[in-house]
Amino acid sequence: MSPESLQSIYALILGLAIAGALSTGYQIFAARPASFRLLNEARPKALVAVPFLVFAAPFIILRNTVRGARVEGRGFVAVMAATMIAGFWGLSCGMVIMGLLRAAGLGG
């Protein structure tokens, strides 16, 4: 496996792990699951929610996809498309986090 492929796998895992940790942490402290409805809050809260949602979005998308597949009976294509979007988003977030870690001198 090439080093670039391995880095992409690590970035995907890191992005999805951070998304899950952020969403779960929010749910623990707010006593409700994180959702994109945070953008409908009052202006200061919505502005603070944007960076949070950027990194928590892959988990929210996957959670909503699983829930939609069970409750609404969404088809395979819809579930696959949502999973791919969440995966690419998680990969992108993971690459940003890895870049930040590297810039801080914590990565290789």
Task: State the total domains in the chain.
Answer: 1
Decide if 108 is inside a domain. no
Note down the domain range covering 70. Answer: 3-103
Helix (H) / strand (E) containing 37: none
Radius of gyration of the chain (CA): 15
> According to the model, what pLDDT value does residue 87 have?
95
Position 23 in a domain: yes
Average pLDDT over every residue of 2-13:
93
Q: What is the pLDDT of residues 37-76, one digit of tens each?
A: 988 888 888 898 999 999 999 999 999 998 888 888 888 8
